[in-house]
Every structure is written in structure tokens, then in C-alpha cells.
Amino acid sequence: MIVIDNFIKDLDFLKRIEESEDFWKEGYKWYDGWWEKETSNLREELIERVWGDQSPHPAINTSGFEHWVGDYDNTSTKTVLNREWALKLHFDKDEELWVDEKRFVTPLIGTIFYPCREIDEMEGGMLYHWEKFPPQRANADTTIFWPEEEPEIIKPKFNRLIIFDAGCLHGVSKIVSGRRRAVAINLWDKKPTEFAKNNY
């Protein structure tokens, strides 16, 4: 896992993200990459800033980027393993392939970025991540058990970038107060089924 604070130096860019209705629209989207198509919106521009020439991570040979946003507060609660979560424990995966074939295909790597200042006023909403808990460790019916090893627990923070293995078990703890807005970016070696079949 890589955690970098004060990642974006252009604070005006972050202000535009925070105030953009289009950036915060729900739904999963796909971007083939700036080498295939020039950036056309703030999300794509952010992806290039994170994964382009100035990326803090070594280059990854990817077919593109799946991206979406999360917007949670203290009303966003799910109970898993007798604990309350804003975002329940899960593995990022090709969801349609899992439904159709019960086969796990996970991204090459994942990214979380917190572009909004309000997150520093939030209580709770911690990222829990188990780097040695891939989907193959789940029960046969894919139910999750609480791992023996301790998770990495990362506090959300304004302008903090997290690069991690999103194919391993992770979730977000209950938010006590405030608002947690974040953008997630997954890199894939092959376009996930949903985007491939819709020629996205």
C-alpha cells in the first residue's frame, strides 16, 4: 500500500472537483487512457495526474481505468460480521463475470483519492484493508469471515492518495459524523465485462 498526502499541488483543481456536479455523479465509468483519448473531464484529468508520467507508482501496463465516486454519511450503514460499515467488506472484481460464471477476476491495482476539505471534519469512515486476504480465502459460498491478521486502517484525509490491492478484502467503517466523499480508480489488464459488452 502507498499513502501520499498533499498529492495534488494545484488547489484550484481540487476546488473545481469539489464544486463539480458532473464529477460526483453516481455510476461506474470507463476511461481508455490519455494515450488513446485526450482527457475530456475532471475525472479523466485526475486519472492522468495520478497514473501519468508523474505517478508515484511504477508504470503499469493497463487496458484502462474503471472509475466511480462514493458519497457517504452517518445514514450509510450496513452490518457485516456484527459490525457497522459505511461500505461493507468486499473484493473489487468483474461483477458481471462473477454473477454469470462465479469466477473472480480482480483489478491490477486500486486507487482512492479524497479531494474535498470537508473530510477532515468527519469522524469514522476509516479504510480497512487486508492485503493477504484475496477472494480465494472466502468461504465456499463466498461469505466472508473475520480474518485472523490485523488490517491496515487508513484515515481519510483531504488530498490524500491511497494506492492498494483492491482485489483483496477491504471496506469502510461506519461514519459517526460528517461526510466522506472519495473517488476510486481501478486499473485492469482486460476491460471488465460490463464495459466490454457495451463497447464502452
124-165 pLDDT, tens digit per residue, is: 999 999 999 888 887 665 667 788 899 999 999 999 999 999
pLDDT value at residue 140? 61
Residue 142's pLDDT is 61
> What average pLDDT does the chain have?
92
Global pTM reads 0.93
Q: Which residue has the higher pLDDT, 145 or 175?
A: 175
Q: Which of 96, 99, 88, 92 is nearest to 65 (CA)?
A: 92
Q: How far is it, in rounded angstroms, from Cα 62 to Cα 109?
A: 10
Flag the least confident range among 43-47, 91-95, 175-179: 91-95
- Span 80-117, pLDDT tens digits: 888 899 999 999 999 888 888 888 899 999 999 999 99
Percentage of the chain modeled with pLDDT above 70 = 96
List all residues 6 or more positions away from 3 whose beta carbon is below 8 Å from its beta carbon. Answer: 154, 160, 161, 162
* pLDDT at residue 34 in the model: 95
Give the residues across from 31 on adjacent strands. Answer: 65
pLDDT given for residue 180 in this prediction: 96
Question: Strand pairing partners for 64?
Answer: 188
- The CATH architecture one would assign to domain 2-197 is Sandwich (2.60)
Q: How far apart are CA 116 and CA 157, in angstroms?
A: 9
